Structures are given as structure tokens and as C-alpha cells.
Amino acid sequence: MELIEKAISEKGKVLPGNVLKVGSFLNNRIDVCLVNALGKDISEHFKGKGVNLILTIEASGIAIASLTAVHFNCDVIFAKKSKTSNVEGEYYTAPCYSYTHKVQNDLIVPKEYLSKGDRVLIVDDVLARGEAVNACMSLISQAGAECVGVAVAFEKGFQKAGDALRSKGVDVYAGAIVDEMNENKITFRKQ
């Protein structure tokens, strides 16, 4: 999606450790006009697939998920991160390692909010090594629901998780795919 590539080129910052900082428009300060356009594009990509629920992860996925769900007219649930599983009620949980924060979280979704028969689209800000998406797929599978696909604002193509998912037949939408990046240049894959 040209708008996302343009925003990343103009406002993204490449930091050491393969970090692409997008906090000024995507996941701390949010350019709602841009993200709303992204959400519309995602809804067009998955049109007719019967999506009735969007699953995301706190905190940086929530704005994108909400501004996508409004085009599907469906609900959003977000998985909470907890270092301990010390929570009340019945939950689905899945382990998820964060390379950014170098910490192991358990993703948690109350059983009452995710049900068999739900057709779930996973939405997040970034797809890199696929830890978060794989954990979300586990939560969906535990509930007996179906994963319709994955949509992210951008994908780090050089970290391969997107292609691994596609090779398994998962429908993966990325607003932009970064194939190479350094301090001077960000190269996008043609889609």
C-alpha cells in the first residue's frame, strides 16, 4: 500500500538491532487518517471471507485492529500480555517471546470472548519473526475457531515469518514489506 510505504520512508527510523521505529505515526502517536485507510484496504483484501472477529495484541495492535474492524463491522478482542498467568477466570494462553523487549510473555484471552465458529482475522502492527502471530494462531486453535488470515501494517520480509506463513497457505496481508533496511535506505518488496 503506497501510503504505508511513503510513511515508512519519510517517518520511519532504522535503529540498531534491526529495529524500525514507527512510533510517530503507527504505534505510539497514531496517524488515524492513514491507519483508517489501511483498515479499509485490509477489509477489501479479506472481503467475502466471513470475518466476524479481529484478534490483536495489546498495546500497539489495538488502534490498527479497531480502525480495521470498523470496516468489517465486527468486534475486536485483544490478547493481554502477562509475565505470570496469575489471572482469574478461564483463559486461553500461549507463550510469546518478544525480541524487542527480550522477555517471554504469556498471551491471554478469556475463553468467554473467543468461541468455536468464530472466523478470526489476526491484525497487528508488525510481522517480523512471527512469534506474536503464531501465539495468536494457537489461541484461535485452542478455542476451536478458524483463522481467516493475518494482516499487518508492515512486514520485515528479511525476517522470513511472512513467507513461512504464506508457504503454509495462510493469507497474509502486509501494508508494506521491507526487504532490506539500513540507516540510509529502506527497500520495499513489489507486491
Q: How crowded is residue 174: how many other Cβ atoms within 10 Å of its Cβ?
A: 23
The span of 23-31, 40-48, 120-128, 145-153 binding a copy of itself (CB under 8 A) equals 23-31
Q: How crowded is residue 82: how many other Cβ atoms within 10 Å of its Cβ?
A: 14
Binding of a copy of itself by 6 (CB under 8 A): no
Using an 8 Å Cβ cutoff, are 177 and 189 in contact? yes
Among 4, 36, 38, 165, binds a copy of itself (CB under 8 A): 36
Residues 58-97 that bind a copy of itself (CB under 8 A): 58-59, 62-63, 65-67, 69-70, 73-78, 80
For residues 10 and 21, give the distance between their C-alpha atoms in angstroms, rounded to a whole number. 12
Nearest distance from residue 189's CB to a copy of itself, in Å?
Answer: 28
- Number of residues that make up the chain: 191
Nearest distance from residue 136's CB to a copy of itself, in Å?
Answer: 15
Shorter beta-carbon distance to a copy of itself: residue 110 or 119: 110
Shorter beta-carbon distance to a copy of itself: residue 47 or 166: 47
Amino acid at 50: G
Binding of a copy of itself by 23 (CB under 8 A): yes
The answer for residues whose C-beta is within 8 angstroms of residue 145's C-beta and 6 or more apart is: 53, 114, 115, 116, 117, 118, 119, 120
Shorter beta-carbon distance to a copy of itself: residue 74 or 165: 74
Roughly how many angstroms between the first and final C-alpha of the chain, as a whole number? Answer: 9
Please calculate the CA angle 47-50-56 and round it to the nearest 5 degrees: 90
Residues that bind a copy of itself (CB under 8 A): 23-24, 28-33, 35-36, 58-59, 62-63, 65-67, 69-70, 73-78, 80, 110, 112-113
